[in-house]
Amino acid sequence: LNLGKEALIRARLGKRMRSLGISTLPEYCRLLRSAEGEEEIGNAIDSLTTNFTQFFREKDHFEFLVQQALPGLQARRGTPIRLWSAACATGEEPYTIAFYLEKHYPLKDGWDWRLLATDISQRALDKAIQGIYPEDRLAMMPQDLVRQVFQRGYGQSAGLYRVKKQLQDRIRFQQMNLLEACPPEGSFEVIFCRNVMIYFDRPTQERLAQQLARALVRGGILFTGRSESLNGLAHPLRCLSPSIYQKQS
């Protein structure tokens, strides 16, 4: 975290601290470091992370994925296309990827794809795994697509929509701290790591950009958030447009 975030941290952790009867940050830190504080770490992470996301957020990326990235990578029927949504929050990003792939690279036509979706926040991941969203979250989506990919709730579940199971089953959700672990070299054709680097300081951003580049195959594509530029960081990626990068082939 950048210096200057102390007030934010205090505000975010304040609710947890009050509920535990703790009044100072050093005291809370002592709890987190102690054996009995192990369970509290998850709560601290959930409080500190910003999980804002949306279906179809920065829609151009998904269009680029199906129209340029995958054709450019010479994706072939029968050979799995491997993708990673590296800070998936409550699931809207990986599900949007899945909607696009289902439409343009359908299983029934012999296409195969594997999507890994990870996040540090277990609370966010639990929502992603549930795959249930209130109607207003789907406002960005065309109605025919909503009918195709969601099951509409009735009775007590009216107003809620659940991602269809056959689509959900194709995504593997997993908790992962991007700063501690990274999948092995050459694991993915495409990585989405959007709107998370912005929270890290420059040296951490640089280290992460290098790790993500390593996890891509040659020619693979990395999407970052629109406001996150890798400009000025040392990394081996070629910039195709301000938030789209390619590993040199």
Ligand X SMILES: C[S@@+](CC[C@H](N)C(=O)[O-])C[C@H]1O[C@@H](n2cnc3c(N)ncnc32)[C@H](O)[C@@H]1O
Of 10, 12, 126, 226, which is the active-site residue? 12
The minimum distance between CB 156 and ligand X, in angstroms, equals 28
For residue 241, give the H/E element and its range: strand 237-241
Of 57, 82, 119, 194, which is the active-site residue? 119
The minimum distance between CB 11 and ligand X, in angstroms, equals 17
- The footprint of ligand X (CB under 6 A) covers 49-53, 57, 87, 89, 93, 119-121, 124, 177-179, 194-196, 199, 225
Which residue's CB is nearer to ligand X, number 57 or number 82? 57
Token digits for 102? 């289902």
The minimum distance between CB 36 and ligand X, in angstroms, equals 24
| Cβ neighbours for 210, distance < 8 A, ≥ 6 positions apart | 234, 235, 236
Which residue's CB is nearer to ligand X, number 33 or number 59? 59
| Cβ neighbours for 146, distance < 8 A, ≥ 6 positions apart | 138, 161
The minimum distance between CB 123 and ligand X, in angstroms, equals 9
Helices marked H in 76-201 — which ranges?
Answer: 92-104, 122-130, 143-149, 165-168
Q: Which amino acid is at 173?
A: F
Which residue's CB is nearer to ligand X, number 90 or number 168? 90
C-alpha 247/C-alpha 217 separation (Å) is: 7
Q: Please, what is the Cα angle at 125 between 121 and 130, to 5 degrees?
A: 155
Tell me if residue 12 is catalytic: yes
C-alpha 56/C-alpha 95 separation (Å) is: 9
Which residue's CB is nearer to ligand X, number 167 or number 191? 191
- Residues marked as catalytic: 12, 119
